[in-house]
Amino acid sequence: MVPLRDENPVQITPYVTYGLIALNVLVFGYELSLSPAQLSLFMQHWAVVPIELTTSFGGFSTVDAGEWGTLITSQFLHGGFLHVAGNMLYLWIFGNNVEEQLGRVRFLLFYLVCGALAVLTQWFFNPLSMVPSLGASGAIAGVMGAYIFRFPQVRILTLVPLGIFLTTFRIPAILYLGFWFLQQAFYGVASLDSPVTVGMEAGGIAYWAHAGGFVFGAILGPILGLFSNSDNALRSSED
């Protein structure tokens, strides 16, 4: 199932959402300009390498500080066109409404913190992996976790394959995003029986980062004012 749009208009211009999308696309464009060897070094330096993060717990050197910084920088790296395109589609659909509710400054903080906590969730299940972990998926999962609790009945126009045909359905957010979360959690649990953690070793999907980001988004959103009764549009413009 592919979401096309939500039936949830906003009263602000979501500059932070647009800015995050633009930055992700620009960084991906830079990745495309690198040779395979350069790209490998770039990923090793700016993505999260779990075993290096694990090692950093033993001290507080400049190198350690740099490794912790990858909890942020890794959120703007992607492993391919479909990876970045899919993530930006979800951010485009769900980010603007959460930005309107939280205000621009709080939304940016919320996004980055959810992304960092999502990476740490994935790291927790395979702290000795040497394969770089990257992508905006965890942060965007946090946005989705906030969205499902704030707008559970909003309809999501969704493209659904039925055999050889494609059709669209208007699915409530609580069903669409709820199914998405259960799917990530199921695959995350299933991966525990594998010799490696899916998404960190085989170049696959970081299911635990998705599930963790979703849960943290659902928790942090209300703390930061997701359900505030104030004029969110005015507050957003003041931020």
**Which DSSP string corresponds to the chain?**
-EEEEES---SS--HHHHHHHHHHHHHHHHHHTS-HHHHHHHHHHHSB-HHHHHHHTT---HHHHHHHHHHHHGGG--SSHHHHHHHHHHHHHHHHHHHHHH-HHHHHHHHHHHHHHHHHHHHHH-TT--S-B--SHHHHHHHHHHHHHH-TT-EEEEEEEETTEEEEEEEEHHHHHHHHHHHHHHHHHHHTTSSS-TTTSSS---HHHHHHHHHHHHHHHHHTTTT--S-HHHHHHH-
Residue 163's pLDDT is what?
Answer: 79
Average pLDDT, the chain: 85
Calculate the alpha carbon distances from 131 to 33, 49, 198 in Å. 22, 6, 11
Banded pLDDT at 180 (limits 50, 70, 90):
confident
Residue type, 111: Y
Banded pLDDT at 17 (limits 50, 70, 90):
very high
Residue 192's pLDDT is what?
Answer: 53
pTM comes to 0.87
| pLDDT at 216 exceeding the cut of 90 | yes
| pLDDT at 4 exceeding the cut of 90 | yes
| pLDDT at 88 exceeding the cut of 70 | yes
Calculate the alpha carbon distances from 189 to 5, 20, 152, 182, 185 in Å. 30, 30, 25, 11, 6
Please give the structure tokens belonging to residue 182.
Answer: 């259960």
Average pLDDT value for residue range 138-149: 95
Banded pLDDT at 189 (limits 50, 70, 90):
low
99/61: higher pLDDT: 99
pLDDT above 90 as % of the chain: 59
Residue 130's pLDDT is what?
Answer: 84
19/209: higher pLDDT: 19
What does the pLDDT look like over 103-143, one tens digit per residue? 999 999 999 999 999 999 989 988 888 888 899 999 999 99
| pLDDT at 239 exceeding the cut of 70 | no
C-alpha span between 109 and 95 (Å, rounded): 13
